[in-house]
Structure 1
Amino acid sequence: MIMNILHQHQRTTIKELNKHLNVSAATLRTDLTQMEKEGLLIRTHGGAMTKEKTNDQHCSPVGDTINQIEKIKISQRAAQLIMNGQCIFLDASPIALELARILVQEKSRLTVVTNGIHAAMEMKENPNITVILIGGALRAGSTALEGRFGIDLLRRIHADILFTSASGFTIEDGLTDFNVYEIELKKEMVKAASRVVALLDHDKIGKISIASYASTEQIDVLITDSEAPHAFFDEIAAKQIELIVV
């Protein structure tokens, strides 16, 4: 029955399964953990998702299912950095969307500012979260609002933390991305945040994209997975960036 629900919706939560199956949360957690061991699904914070790639818009905003388990682990660790009452920025990356899906289940009061349409839609279900969607242009096939329309808003807001991902990261070039229009928004997010937390699965390390939006020196915390090259860990330590490996 759990697998039938996953095939229909691609992802589910303990709360939803409890409502449909009338089984205790403890039993459901045990079942989901065992099913993950058997390779049937991927455990997420408070639920599970299907392992199959999908074009469903409710999954990844850009179809980015590569290293999905790593992305979930990174976002779960990132959520631990957030404190009650904070204002945070989320970009429109797949990892930020996973973080939004965790936050919607939290009881903390937060203000979240994002240019990610799916992230905003996820978090609006939590009455404790005030969601501010940055205005901008929406291109065909994209779920990120971009351009300079939202810059004036960002210049009026101070955030405690920016959670951001990138197409690539190197020590020399910092965080780089391919969308030059969204980069303008990300630059303003970096300026307006007290802390910048980079969320990067190992495939992003050592790669360079079109343009940089944050130098290495502007990054306060970097969260990555254990598949990242260990030589990279030493380079990050030398830059006095807090490194978290999941």
Structure 2
Amino acid sequence: MHETKQERRIRQLVELLHRKEKMHLKEAAKALTVSEMTLRRDLIEPHAGLSVIGGYIINNQRHEDDFTYCLREQHESHVREKAEMGKCAAGLIKPNDTVFFDNGTTVVHIIHAIDDNIPFTGVCFSLNVFLALKNKPNCSPILCGGGFDPQCNHFYPISENNELDDLRIDIMFASAAGVDGRLGVTCYALTEIPYKRQALRQSQSVVLVVDSSKLGVVRKAVVCQLPAIDQVICDVSLPAEWRAMLGTDEQRGAR
């Protein structure tokens, strides 16, 4: 039977994602020399274990658990909230700032919202975040390397020295898998901790960007306590006791 153009594209996508759990839609479209909209139409319904979630093509068969998590994170209402928070956070970046971007889907929304005319240095340790940064025309991206955690798609240091050592950061945009008034900011994986904590120490301003689904949630890996955060950008107002821990300065409250 003759292979249709759509079937050929899907076969090529399967080959591209053979050893990957996901690929940025823009990267896939460039590899196949078609538009992103064409691939979105191809995958309106999942084909060959592939689906479009947010801005990524997901290989469902490779990491079923990761796919379930990604579906939850990319729920439509949360995407809208994260996009709004991303715009608010991006407005804090000044020309020629050095900015550390944590991992997570919320951080990618910040990068998308940055004015393409603003020159800045973007520092990260997540492969997905790096792919977003390299598409900003006036960004000088720095990817912190080391060992690679394939489940979380990020790098972690394996020696005493790393790319962050010689950097002083103007703004750190921190993410979280959980935020609790007593137990602080937490994340899923212990491999996330080293770069996050080093960036916290070397940043002039730490901005936590988190949606309300993470409030009151505690994950296993501790990043920091709330007093280490200078400002919180959220889609709801924080509880009064958390505001007290952050301080009384209006700029340090929820936005």
Report if aligned partners of 1:93, 1:164 keep a CA contact under 8 Å in 2. no
Tell me, yes or no, if structure 1 residue 72 matches structure 2 residue 83: yes
Report if aligned partners of 1:148, 1:184 keep a CA contact under 8 Å in 2. no
Amino acid aligned to 2:242? I
Report if aligned partners of 1:123, 1:129 keep a CA contact under 8 Å in 2. yes
Q: Percent identity?
A: 21
Q: How far does the alpha carbon of each residue in 1:72-123 deviate from its partner, in whole angstroms, 9 at most, with x for none?
A: 11111101111111000001111111112223x5211100100121221222
**1:173-192 equivalent positions in 2, closer than 5 A:** 173-192=183-202
Greater Rg, structure 1 or structure 2? 2
Amino acid aligned to 1:81? L
Tell me, yes or no, if structure 1 residue 86 matches structure 2 residue 92: no
Distance 1:93 1:150, change over 3 A: farther
- The equivalent position to 1:131 in structure 2, one of 127, 141, 150, is 141
SS in 1 for 2:113: helix
Aligned residues: 197
CA distance in 2 between partners of 1:238 and 1:164 (Å): 20
CA distance in 1 between partners of 2:147 and 2:191 (Å): 9
Report if aligned partners of 1:171, 1:216 keep a CA contact under 8 Å in 2. yes
Report if aligned partners of 1:91, 1:165 keep a CA contact under 8 Å in 2. yes
Amino acid aligned to 1:235? E
- Report what 2:63 is aligned to: none
Report if aligned partners of 1:151, 1:185 keep a CA contact under 8 Å in 2. no
Report if aligned partners of 1:110, 1:129 keep a CA contact under 8 Å in 2. yes
**1:1-246 equivalent positions in 2, closer than 5 A:** 54-55=51-52, 58-59=55-56, 63=70, 64-66=73-75, 67-103=78-114, 105-149=115-159, 152-226=162-236, 232-239=238-245, 240=247, 242-245=252-255
Normalized against structure 1, the TM-score is what?
Answer: 0.70
Unaligned runs of at least 5 residues, structure 1: 1-9, 13-49
Report if aligned partners of 2:144, 2:162 keep a CA contact under 8 Å in 1. no
Report if aligned partners of 2:145, 2:162 keep a CA contact under 8 Å in 1. no
